[in-house]
Amino acid sequence: MKRTRVTLRDVARRLDVHPSTVSRVLNPRTRSMVADAMAERVMEAVEDMGYRPNPFAYSLKTNRSFIVGVLIPDITDPLFPPIIQGAERTLAGAGYTTILADTDNDPERQRVNFEIMRERQVDGLIIATARFEDPVIAEHRGGDIPMILVIRTINDPAMPCVINDDAYGIGLIVSHLAALGHRRVAHVAGPQDVSTARVRHRAFEDAMRKAGLEPDPSLIQFCCSFAEEEGRGAASDLLERGETFTAIVAANDLLAIGCLDALALFGKRCPEDVSVTGYNDMPFVDKIQPPLTTMRIPHDEMGAMAARLLLKRIEGDATAEGSISIRPELVVRASTGPVAAGKK
């Protein structure tokens, strides 16, 4: 039923010229090879006949797809849409189309999607699904397809990435808490196979020491994923065990929200009894009760940066900067406050 598309040959025939002439006119790089008068006529016919180049023919010939793949662990995590948006916008501006895959936080699905994208001959890959030790990425490192990581990085400092400076951010948070008089600070850590969670955990301990506070191992809870329920569970454990603390540094906002839930469940007030901090400043954390103190990261900008870096590499600029680390910004809201007089 598909009414057959207008081809290059159709246009050529109508003008009684050779297809390659038409091709040359259409390609900016070869456009100068053809006489202006001819070019004019060609453009007119192209316009008139509604000619659209066939991308498959082009790609088959040139091995360039003008498609970039984006791998996301979970698109319903509010962290990722801005990244996708930033990347997609930049990519579209450069004439690239974005293909999206949601790996559902599953390494196996990541592998499969990686494979699919390879088969589809994407010109490059933006990856937000990296685990710290990631065989799939390691395997393709140095392969023929340019890749860049966003948000999460891997166990290899040479791998190009756009991340935020987690150590710096956690440092800011701990200082903020210390300045408010907190000494017993708990940490609800994220899944340690993800770089952000891992770095934040290390940074938490370092920053505590730097603030003259020995981190107490019994105040550190590890979560299996960056999910609200995990945060709720972790904080509940702390509370159930009867640990004493006046603040919780959660590894991200979702975890922090879970902590808030647990606090409410146990009849603790935030920030009067326990202060809580998040990380990411994701949408609407300023609307929750209490509004969350957190670290702001320019996610859309990071998506755009990743896309730009990738494009440079795709376009063969070997001198393109390797990686970018962004300094996040502390946003103080009502979930943190001074330690109550009696609790110091």
Partner DNA sequence: CTGAAAGCGCTAACAT
Partner DNA sequence: ATGTTAGCGCTTTCAG
Under DSSP, the state recorded for 158 is: T
17 sits near a second copy (criterion: CB under 8 A): no
Helix (H) or strand (E) holding 277, with range, is: strand 275-277
What is the contact mask toward a second copy in residues 240 to 259, using x (rule: CB under 8 A)?
-----------------x--
29 sits near a second copy (criterion: CB under 8 A): no
What is the contact surface with DNA in residues (CB under 7 A)?
4-5, 7-9, 16-21, 23-24, 26-27, 29-30, 33-35, 37-39, 51-54, 57-58, 60-62
Give how many residues touch a second copy by CB under 8 A. Answer: 49
Spell out the residues 6+ positions from residue 255 whose beta carbon is closer than 8 angstroms to its own.
Answer: 188, 190, 223, 226, 227, 228, 230, 231, 234, 278
Task: Give the separation between CA 230 and CA 233, rounded to whole angstroms.
Answer: 5
Q: Which residue has the tokens 């870096």?
A: 309
Amino acid, res. 97: T
Residue 46 near residue 9, CB atoms below 8 Å: no
Using the minimum distance from each CB to a second copy, give the nearer residue, 104 or 216.
104
Using the minimum distance from each CB to DNA, give the nearer residue, 1 or 341.
1
Here the tokens at position 105 are 């936080």
Within 10 A of 81 (CB to CB), how many other CB atoms are there?
A: 17
In whole angstroms, how close is the CB of 222 to DNA at the nearest point? 46
What is the contact mask toward a second copy in residues 126 to 165, using x (rule: CB under 8 A)?
------------------x---------------------
Give the angle 102-252-208 at the CA atoms, nearest 5°: 145
In whole angstroms, how close is the CB of 242 to a second copy at the nearest point? 27
What is the contact mask toward a second copy in residues 60 to 99, using x (rule: CB under 8 A)?
x--x-x-x--x---xxx-x-xxx-xx--xx--x----xxx
Task: Give the separation between CA 188 and CA 277, rounded to whole angstroms.
Answer: 10
Task: Give the separation between CA 301 and CA 85, rounded to whole angstroms.
Answer: 9
Query: β-strand 275-277 against 247-250: which pairing, if any?
Result: parallel
119 sits near a second copy (criterion: CB under 8 A): yes
Among 283, 315, 322, 327, binds a second copy (CB under 8 A): 283
40: buried, middle or exposed (CB in 10 Å: 19+, 13-18, 0-12)?
A: exposed
Name which of DNA, a second copy, none residue 85 binds, using a CB cut-off of 5 to 8 Å depending on partner kind.
Answer: a second copy
Name which of a second copy, DNA, none residue 67 binds, using a CB cut-off of 5 to 8 Å depending on partner kind.
Answer: a second copy
47 sits near a second copy (criterion: CB under 8 A): no
Q: What are phi and psi of 92, to 5 degrees?
A: -60, -40
Summarize as ranges the residues that interact with a second copy (CB under 8 A).
1-3, 52-57, 59-60, 63, 65, 67, 70, 74-76, 78, 80-82, 84-85, 88-89, 92, 97-102, 104, 113, 116, 118-121, 144, 257, 260, 283-284, 287-289, 300
